[in-house]
Amino acid sequence: MRLVAVGSGVGGGPWVSSYVGGRNEKVGQCFYAVEDRKVAVDEGGDAVAGGGKRVAEVVVAAVATVVLGVGNRVLYKLALVPLKQYPFFLAQLATFGYFTFMIEFVYFRYVIVYFGILYIRHHAGIVTDEMLHAPKAPFIVVGILEALAAATGMAAGAILSGASIPILSQTFLVWQILLSIIFLGRRYKVNQLLGCFLVTIGVVVTVASGAGAGDSLKEGGMFWTLLMIVSFFLQAADTVLKEIIFLDSTQKLKGGSMDLFVVNSYGSAFQALFICLLLPFLSKLWGIPFGQLPNYLKDGAACFLNIGTLSSGCDGAPLLPLLFIIVNIGFNIALLHLLKISSAVVSCLASTFSVPISIYVFTMPLPYLGVASSLPTGFMAGAVILLVGLLIYAWTPSNGSSGASFSTST
């Protein structure tokens, strides 16, 4: 079969014709990349309807990610109220995606939950045997990247102030764009790059206003600042690798794209393995001798479950920590689903958008937190810049056909 034409009609959508044995025949489906994702469509009105349905799906998934992202950040702060004496049980969970310790009481719950859902979906026929038997090497790399990202992030986070970390986290978006260009061959339009830049500036202005983040970065030192940036680089590489897994599975698997719970389950299992190998290093970062970790876990578990004589001052447990764990699992699932149907950059923008909303929520009278915090002076300016950046990124020029890059797949 020889493809002879690829194009887009004014109202008919993309079409592909072929010349087989002296006669013209239709090719069932063609794949084309619009902006930064590959989408499969049929001809004519079905293409328009399918495109609109896909856009609606991405919008709904993005809104869900933002809502769960806000809940994740707010509940993280609330969950620290009863666990104020044992902050390492929850530290870095909101920032780095999964908690790096409390292996027996929290982290393996994530692995158990994901594999439990995976088992149900497999018996329901949603997850095929082919998906489960897919090569595990990419998942091993995912586990290594997530473990190293947590280790380096905790090392730097122990030195840097809380005001500086959200500023440095904006390098995550920059790394994602660069890595997607290198490994996915993406080409971004000027409006997309400008939009991402404005989103980054908006978050920096929002977080830095009245927080003294500039002085905090100077006090932290260049080495720890660079180490935190390396941590976000590793997280961005992890996200891009997951997107590559989804894209490759679309072409190789007969049952369609890889189920997100396969990626979550195996990635979490391998991350837990490598975190265990890093425990001596992590305990040193926490300032807890490795030999005292069992007692520390035992005392923390008593507070977490709010039982025994050590539970004094743990009011709010286990409800608040459990709510945080549930919302965090939902947030990670929503984020990975959005990554699957859109791109790494879109999922990052949705997660970033939750930052200023979370800051605003903390100005409300929340339980267990006492007096509400005041709104930073530059909050509105930063929020406006962020919104403008999102609108510019999502804006599509009127001459849409000239901005889309087309490719065919036989």
CA 353, CA 43: separation in Å to the nearest integer? Answer: 35
Q: What's the one-letter identity of residue 247? A: L
* Residue keyed to tokens 């520390």: 296
Written as one string, the DSSP assignment of 62-77 is HHHHHHHHHHHHHHHH
CA 243, CA 344: separation in Å to the nearest integer? Answer: 7
| Residue 361: other Cβ atoms inside 10 A | 16
pLDDT number for residue 155: 75
pLDDT number for residue 241: 95
| pTM more than 0.85 | no
CA 137, CA 140: separation in Å to the nearest integer? Answer: 5
pLDDT number for residue 45: 56
CA 362, CA 53: separation in Å to the nearest integer? Answer: 35
- Which 3-state string (H, E, C) describes 238-302? HHHHHHHHHHHHHHHCCCCCCCHHHHHHHHHHHHHHHHHHCHHHHHHHHCCCHHHHHHHHHHHHH
Q: What's the one-letter identity of residue 317? A: A
Share in percent of the chain as helix, strand, coil (round to 5): 65, 10, 25
Burial (0-12, 13-18, 19+ Cβ within 10 Å), 201: middle
pLDDT number for residue 203: 83
Name every residue whose Cβ is closer than 8 Å to that of residue 263 and which is 6 or more positions away in sequence: 139, 142, 242, 245, 246, 336
Q: Per-residue pLDDT for the chain (410 aa), expressed as one digit of tens each? A: 333 333 333 333 332 333 333 333 333 333 333 344 444 444 455 555 667 788 899 999 999 999 999 998 888 778 777 777 665 555 433 333 333 333 333 445 567 788 888 999 999 999 999 999 999 999 999 999 988 987 888 778 767 765 677 778 888 888 999 999 999 999 899 999 999 999 889 888 877 765 555 555 556 678 888 888 899 999 999 999 999 999 999 888 876 789 999 998 899 889 888 877 887 777 776 667 777 777 776 777 777 777 765 556 778 888 888 888 889 889 989 999 999 999 889 998 898 888 888 888 888 888 887 777 777 778 888 888 988 998 898 886 654 433 333 232 32
Do 110 and 348 touch, CB atoms closer than 8 A? Answer: no
Q: What are phi and psi of 188, to 5 degrees?
A: -100, 145
Assign residue 9 a region: left if phi > 0, alpha if psi is -120 to 50, beta otherwise? beta
Closest CA to 80 of 65, 71, 95, 91: 91
Name every residue whose Cβ is closer than 8 Å to that of residue 10 and which is 6 or more positions away in sequence: none
pLDDT number for residue 378: 80
pLDDT number for residue 236: 93
pLDDT number for residue 101: 37
pLDDT number for residue 96: 35
SS3 34: strand
CA 5, CA 14: separation in Å to the nearest integer? Answer: 10
CA 58, CA 154: separation in Å to the nearest integer? Answer: 32
Name every residue whose Cβ is closer than 8 Å to that of residue 182 and which is 6 or more positions away in sequence: none
Domain ranges for the chain = 128-258+369-395
pLDDT number for residue 406: 29
Do 98 and 106 touch, CB atoms closer than 8 A? Answer: no
* Residue keyed to tokens 């310790």: 101
